[in-house]
Chains A and B, each alone.
Chain A
Amino acid sequence: MGNTVFEETLVGKIEQDEFMLSGHNACPGCGAALTVRLMMKALKDRAVIVIPASCWSIISGVNPLRCLETVVLHCPFPAAAAVGSGIKKGLLAVGDQDTQVVILAGDGGTFDIGLQGLSGAAERNEDILFVCYDNEAYMNTGMQKSSATPYGSASTTTPAPRIKPNPKKDIMAIMAAHQIPYAATATIAFPQDLISKVNRAIDLKGFRFLHILAPCPQGWGSPVEKTVTLSRLAVLTRIFPLFEIEDGKRYRLTYHPSVHLPLENYFGLQKRFSSLGPREVEQARENVDYYWGELCRKSGCSEDCCRYS
């Protein structure tokens, strides 16, 4: 990768004020920590954060320590969307109209055990922002597969050679089907995009959803210094496209890569994909191309790529 890729993704300046303190409990190279550091730059001191069981149950600090400069409330694993909705309703009942309620859940608490509550809150159009930081497996307990784990990934519960045979659940399509005001994907290698999507979300009313890819060196088996690179490669290989959906209908690609990097560039940096043979890589490519084609169609993309879809 040349410098052009860096220039493409780092445009403008990032807010200097920090609302996440150093001394947190994240592992070296943690994508989830960087996700929240960036997210907090947008939220500032306007939001309370609700955290179900996930890496962030630990990262946020062991009692009595804390690393976020706001109110953090912990709750059981499947409960986040309903607890957050209740907090918002409770705040309104006691006269606080302004405080935003933001759920910070991992992929397990979003795609798997949290899905019922998430769907319920989305259907009721509860006035909350649900942020999923997706490290594509149960990382807090040591890399067990979730329904966000991509096709071909090994995990401790899908060990090689019995790698995960099914594609990653399409959570964005599920959220779009609820016709919520706003849903978007983001990732840490595109910080301005991530921050602007958080800002966009908190300016809206009703149920808002952000799906943020957060690489995990521990689980993915990648070098700790490659977290941001992997985040960028996920977008450039189109395995994790950046887009947003308004009211479940209007799709928009928020970043269209000018290069189309092969999936091997992304897989090659991660041990979890190390057992894949050419046939599996081809299958993964087909999955990615199909998804990208669908996305281009829905968003009315006119770039050359769409001729292949």
Chain B
Amino acid sequence: MILVTKLMNGNEAAALAVKLCKAQVVCAYPITPQTSLVENIAEMWATGNFPGEYISVESEYSALSYVVGAAYAGARTFTATSSQGLAYMHELLHWASGARLPIVLVNVNRALGAPWSLEPDQGDSLSQRDTGWIQLYCSNVQEIMDTVILAFRLAEEARTPCMVVYDGFTLSHTYEVVDFPNQEEVDQFLSPPPQEALFHPSRPETIQSVTDYRYLARVVQAGHRAMLQVPDALKKIGRSFSRIFGRDYFLLKETGLEEAKTVFVATGAIAQTVESFLPLLDGEEVFGYLQLKLFRPLPEKEIITAFSRENIEKLIIIDRNLSRGMGGIFAQEIRALLQGTAFRGKIFELNLAGGIDLTLELLQRGMAKVAEQKDGDEKIIWGVDL
């Protein structure tokens, strides 16, 4: 293993990972803050440094339609978007998962309007929770590069489309030092791109024709079972990744859970921010931290095991997203999951919806409110008080 380190931002890392994975058909439509990702691919393609085809189309709807078509034919495909663009792709997200097409899509989190905003709210990707896509959330630039590579293998093995998600600007435009994988390593990890069409007119067949519940129910259940196998598949793929690249990957990342009374739970860039704040928090108390990476499917077994420790009294779940009238989406998912388990603690929600940045001062204020919260108080502790 020859270690090459490079300074790059999240969008550059994703673009280079797509190149290393030898995606055969890349089709996209530009949208802030995803734009520099597709510009990077376009630049490599225009100068003969990209192994596949790159097509710039007239909308996100057509971008995902295009890769659905290319994936129907059997090609390795990639697209990327943000925010309104992901919402515009919605119909095709369902089609891709229904057809079990192993498409990899990067979504750079950005709030959905109205009003217009460029803030890194996670509502865009989380509102696609039920489209049948695997979602992997990244917390730094290294993780973006590695997760895109993992995603191609995971999508192809699970025959399920996979969305790689990271925060707009905070990760897409922030430069970090990245261990840069070389082509031989990636070729060792990922099978070569397909070289055979999945159909030919000489073998007549009709694909995705209209059907009734008897067949549709089987399609739906098969998709569900494939999803349930994703945590174990990702662990296996993660072990292979560690052997080749020397970095460990995980369904979730935990620190200090053996002793902590209070555990923070977060995703994306916020997770790494929380991790970096832990040593700076005052007092004697030992805090724990859990970063969710795989969401859809939520790794049930691993989360329940992690939170069933008797020492854990409080979970503070930090959501940079909101299901209006309910609360932070990760918080609701974890509440539901922990019902009837050995977890005996209380769950608190610190909500940063609207794209609020987490500062140390804000985290401390949130913790003070957690300490004061009584039964009957509003469930959500807001990052910004009205």
Contacts and interface: CB of A to CB of B under 8 A. Distances in A.
B72 interface: yes
A82 B208 contact: no
A170 interface: no
Contacts of A87: 69-70, 72-73
B195 A95 contact: yes
B204 A94 contact: no
A46 B201 contact: yes
Interface residue tally on B, bucketed by range: 35 or more
B72 A45 contact: no
A74 B72 contact: no
Interface in B200-224: 200-212, 215
A99 interface: yes
Contact of B69 (A69, A85, A116): A85
B77 interface: yes
Given A86-B68, A90-B24, A99-B201, A71 B52 contact: no
A84 B75 contact: no
A111 to B, nearest CB: 17
Contacts of B70: 86-87, 89-90, 93
B92 interface: yes
Contacts of B212: 62
Given A61-B206, A71-B200, A90-B70, A82 B57 contact: yes
Interface in A243-284: none
Given A90-B24, A91-B197, A70 B65 contact: no
Contact of B53 (A50, A93, A95): A93
> Of B58, B91, B212, which is in contact with the most chain A CB atoms at under 10 Å from its CB?
B58
A83 B72 CA distance: 9
A60 B52 contact: no
A291 B24 CA distance: 45
A57 B67 CA distance: 21
B197 A75 contact: no
B237 interface: no
A124 interface: yes
A73 B61 contact: no
Interface in A50-73: 50, 57-58, 60-64, 66, 68-73
B72 A73 contact: yes
Contacts of B211: 62-63
B201 A94 contact: no
Nearest to A78: B61
Given A85-B69, A93-B24, A119-B58, A76 B207 contact: no
Given A86-B25, A90-B70, A73 B201 contact: no
Nearest to B205: A71
B215 A63 contact: yes
- B52, B65, B68 — most chain A CB neighbours (10 Å): B65
A92 B52 CA distance: 11
Contact of B25 (A62, A71, A76, A89): A89
B101 to A, nearest CB: 10
Given A90-B70, A91-B73, A117-B65, A48 B57 contact: no
Contacts of A72: 205-207, 209
Nearest to A87: B69
Interface string B177-212: 000000000000000011111011111111111111
Among B24, B25, B196, B210, find the residue whose CB has the most chain A CB atoms closer than 10 A: B210
Contacts of B57: 82, 120, 124
Contacts of B75: 89-90, 93-94
Q: Which 3 A-B pairs have the closest CB atoms?
A: A86-B69, A90-B73, A90-B70
5 contacts: A63-B211, A74-B210, A75-B69, A86-B70, A89-B27
